[in-house]
Structure 1
Amino acid sequence: MPLIDPRTRYPAAPFETQPQAFPGLSAEMKPEPDYGEQSYRGSNRLEGLVALITGGDSGIGRAVAIAYAKEGADIALSYLPEEETDAKNVAASVEKTGRACLLLPGDIREKPVCESLVSETLARFGHLDILVNNAAFQHPRENFLEIEDEEWRRHFDTNVHGMFYLTKAALPHLKPGASIINTSSVNTKTPMPILIPYSMTKAAIANFTVGLAGSLVKQGIRVNSVLPGPIWTPFIATGMPPEQHESFGAQAPMGRPGQPAELAGAYVYLADPNNSFTTGALLPVHGGMPQL
């Protein structure tokens, strides 16, 4: 593969203002994100494994699902029911690789849904080897006093409690060598004033990752986290103020936002059984943004 200049590989600002209601659809993004259907090349690093991915219909989760399938894994895809259109597109991409994709609509804020995600995955595939806790909620507020109580709870119910319920349901079925990967954020260390509850949940996820890694290392189960920077996903249309869409990603030293496909390799690395000494890691993928 020839070298590619990372500064100019993908679009940079200015972008169109493109607000959407949460959770947002990928097809309405301009330009549509690169999820790796053409750009990601697999090498069977996850052959025969089964991965359950939350928030897998679009954004980072979609790129991870496609990359994992290209690496030989079967996919169980968790998403909100209103994201069915995007989820079916992901399933089609996965199935083009020759792997199976189980569609699992539901809201992970509910503990029974999380338990069902695991049981249905096991019923279909017989085992679970990789759990990717990726689903998230984000809503900006310029003024702290404008944050509504229900909105505050939704951040934690989706981003933290759902991760807890799902991990707890999956853990009894994970064998030595299994991997848990959580999506945190660079906001863990550099929280944005307009995203206080979101940033708090992402810090909690990072802390959960390191603590759980220490707890499970004696069972041979690895736990790691990816910390994305500004990534071009439907989260931008639904979770950022419209006036910030145009310049999104320009603050990164790379001069542009990242694409979901550019993060997929980090999730593959953390899931790959060959990288068996990596646990408790917080892996930033942020285009060179400085961290405290």
Structure 2
Amino acid sequence: MSDKSFPPQQQEQPGVEQQMTPRPDSGELSYAGSGRLKGKKALITGGDSGIGRAVAIAFAREGADVAFAYLKEEQDAMETWEIVKREGVDCLYFQGDVADKAFCTGIVQKTAARFGRIDILVNNAAEQHYAETIEDISAEQLERTFRTNIFAYFHMAAASLKHMGEGGRIINTTSVTAFKGNPKLIDYSSTKGAIVAFTRSLALSLAEKGILVNAVAPGPVWTPLIPASFPQEKVEQFGENVTLKRAGQPVEIAYSYVFLASQGGSYMTGQVLHPNGGTIVGG
């Protein structure tokens, strides 16, 4: 097996990182921090695995205290917690469903109570289901995908503003599918397009408060969502259709979040970064 392809594999939703072959690179051995977020307080949804785990590790290595939420992947979550704690920062974890507004409000309040404030909110948790045609997407699946992928972003942002001052950062995870679509991920792609509009609108709304709102739109990334979403033969070919001819690793995406959360991103708001393996979007 080369580093550009993966063995056929499949999991049930939402997917478990420890069952993936090969394991994703979340930066435990490859990310070196330099104190760019020292003293900052961050809250990340979907932080147990994939991009969320890589962001949690990177933020911790940059000096931030980290809280993260996860749905039910207990083993992955505990592994993330242990890695983050080894960096000497404070770390909280919350198990629950971000599709539930009360859960969103609750974890924001608990994070702020422990850390004193929230400097960085990363809306990242997502749900993705493969469907051959639009007729195969049930009303229940459609609503569930929207509740997880975009409603939760609204709830998390609204609750966090009470604890976020000037210089605060909100970073939303969208996707390359928001810009080029995907015929087998119609509901997922639709939510990711909504996240782009949400990011731009919230950035305009919060500019006077000095809070910056941006997004990251990854291309194909090797996370638990992939074997939990696609047929085995699609997993085997995953990422081969981009310019770089391979899927990205979560740690490669985490650098974009660190940039937007740090002083380097101080003159950016309402923008989308595109770590996507070379897909050209937007003209």
TM range (shorter): over 0.9
Of residues 225, 230, 249, the one that matches 1:235 is: 225
Deviation at 1:186, TM superposition (A): 0.5
Q: TM-score, normalised by structure 1?
A: 0.94
Residue segments in structure 1 that go unaligned for 5+ positions in a row: 1-9
Contact 1:12 1:257 in 2 (8 A): no
Render the CA deviation track for 1:128-183: whole Å, top value 9, x for unaligned.
10000000000010121111111011110000111111111111211000000000
> How many Å separate the matches in 1 of 2:277 and 2:263?
26
SS where residue 66 of structure 2 aligns? strand
Does residue 97 in structure 1 map to residue 101 in structure 2?
Answer: no
> How many Å separate the matches in 2 of 1:240 and 1:227?
20
> How many Å separate the matches in 2 of 1:222 and 1:198?
25
Residue segments in structure 2 that go unaligned for 5+ positions in a row: none
Does residue 141 in structure 1 map to residue 121 in structure 2?
Answer: no
Give 1:36's aligned amino acid.
Answer: G
Does residue 67 in structure 1 map to residue 58 in structure 2?
Answer: yes
Corresponding residue for residue 167 of structure 1: 157
Does residue 264 in structure 1 map to residue 248 in structure 2?
Answer: no
Corresponding residue for residue 86 of structure 1: 76
Does residue 23 in structure 1 map to residue 23 in structure 2?
Answer: no
> How many Å separate the matches in 1 of 2:264 and 2:247?
30
Contact 2:217 2:273 in 1 (8 A): yes
SS where residue 52 of structure 1 aligns? strand
Of residues 240, 243, 247, the one that matches 1:250 is: 240
Does residue 221 in structure 1 map to residue 205 in structure 2?
Answer: no
> How many Å separate the matches in 2 of 1:137 and 1:168?
21
Aligned residue pairs total 282
> How many Å separate the matches in 2 of 1:97 and 1:116?
26
SS where residue 289 of structure 1 aligns? coil
Give 2:91's aligned amino acid.
Answer: C
Give 1:50's aligned amino acid.
Answer: K
- Identical aligned residues as a percent: 49
> How many Å separate the matches in 1 of 2:136 and 2:69?
31
Runs of 4+ in 1 over 2 A off after TM superposition: 10-14
Say what the alpha-carbon RMSD is for the aligned residues.
1.2
Contact 1:12 1:250 in 2 (8 A): no
Give 1:132's aligned amino acid.
Answer: V
| Matches for 1:111-190 after TM superposition, within 5 Å | 111-190=101-180
